[in-house]
Amino acid sequence: MKATRRVPRHFTMAHALMVMAAIITFLTVTSVLRDRQETVDIVVASQDLVAGSGLEASSFTTIQLRADSELVGQLATSKDLLEPAQLGTDLSVGEPLLVRDIRAVVDDDTLRTIAIPVWRSTIDGLGLRIGDRVDLIGADITGTLRYVVTDSAVSRLPRNSAAGAFGSSAGQESWITIQVTDQEALQIASALRAGDVEVVRSTGAPVLSVSTPAPSEQSVSDSVIVLPAEEATS
């Protein structure tokens, strides 16, 4: 006689637990696989780097970040290291590389670099980084203010230095290095000989070619005002 398999007539609690266990296992595996797929690899420094350093893959390592993180889009990935670029700020080992700190390399052998003396507060106040564009304002021998150069790229900055326990670095003398043409270098040298220059962050907006100083009290008192004939005889 052939044996037959008996099928339970009633759905018991044991069956319910087995089904629930299978569903939970399925959801867990699906969640893990989805989490693995929805991540991005961001790059962090594997050594201390200084502003102006070339960005090379060997100087970074990758870590995974959830794709739905608010930081995605601000943090650099391995793809950002494929093109030649420079680091716009100092980076300590373990720190992530930000997209805004990546500066394109300017490949132009016709440009020179010149160092401009500035106050540290100017660098911090403008938030200057490698690759930013700046204008310089200076005075000529007559004292007239004018834009000496415009839209020059910042190529080097001093390393970040922590302020002392009882002081600040804001009032310290410092410098920035910018890229200029040979003619612009001569214009800057002439302006520095006449006095200090002011650094302005370039926005691409049109600039005034000359800014005439306000007339002094002496020049105003010595001015001759000519009245119309009717007013002069009244």
For the segment 36-60, what is each residue's pLDDT rounded down to a tens digit?
A: 558 888 889 998 887 777 788 888 9
Q: For residues 226 and 229, what is the distance between their CA atoms, to the nearest angstrom?
A: 9
Q: Are 113 and 178 in contact (CB under 8 A)?
A: yes
Q: How many CB atoms lie within 10 A of CB 16?
A: 10
The answer to whether 55 and 76 have CB atoms below 8 angstroms apart is: no
As given in the structure block, the two tokens for residue 79 are: 């793809």
| DSSP 8-state secondary structure symbol assigned to residue 49 | B
The pLDDT score that the predictor gives to residue 108 is 59
**Tally of CB atoms within 10 A around 40:** 18
Distance CA 197, CA 135 (A): 10
More confident residue, 137 or 10: 137
pLDDT in tens, 121-139: 999 899 888 888 899 999 8
User: What is the predicted pLDDT for the residue at 11?
Assistant: 58
Percent of the chain with pLDDT strictly greater than 70: 69
Q: Checking DSSP bridges between strand 102-104 and strand 85-87, what pairing results, if any?
A: antiparallel
- Whether pLDDT at 217 is above 50: no
Structural domains in the chain plus CATH codes: 39-104 (3.90.1210.10), 112-162+169-214 (no CATH)
User: What residue type is assigned to position 140 of the chain?
Assistant: D
Q: What is the mean pLDDT of residues 160-177?
A: 60
- 3-class DSSP state for residue 189? helix
Mean pLDDT of the chain: 75
Q: What angle do CA 63, 66, 67 make, to 5 degrees?
A: 115
Which residues pair with residue 177 across a beta bridge?
115, 156
Residue 134: the pLDDT is: 93
d(CA 81, CA 90): 17
Q: What is the pLDDT of residue 6?
A: 57
Tokens of 187: 């214009």
Strand 112-119 to 133-139 pairing: unpaired
Whether 130 and 52 have beta carbons less than 8 Å apart is answered as yes
- The span from the CA of 224 to the CA of 230, in Å, is 18
Q: Using the predicted structure, report yes or no on whether residue 221 has a pLDDT greater than 70.
A: no
The pLDDT value recorded for residue 197 is 92
Reported confidence tier of residue 102, pLDDT bands at 50, 70, 90: confident
Using CA atoms, how far apart are residues 196 and 117, in angstroms rounded to an integer?
A: 8
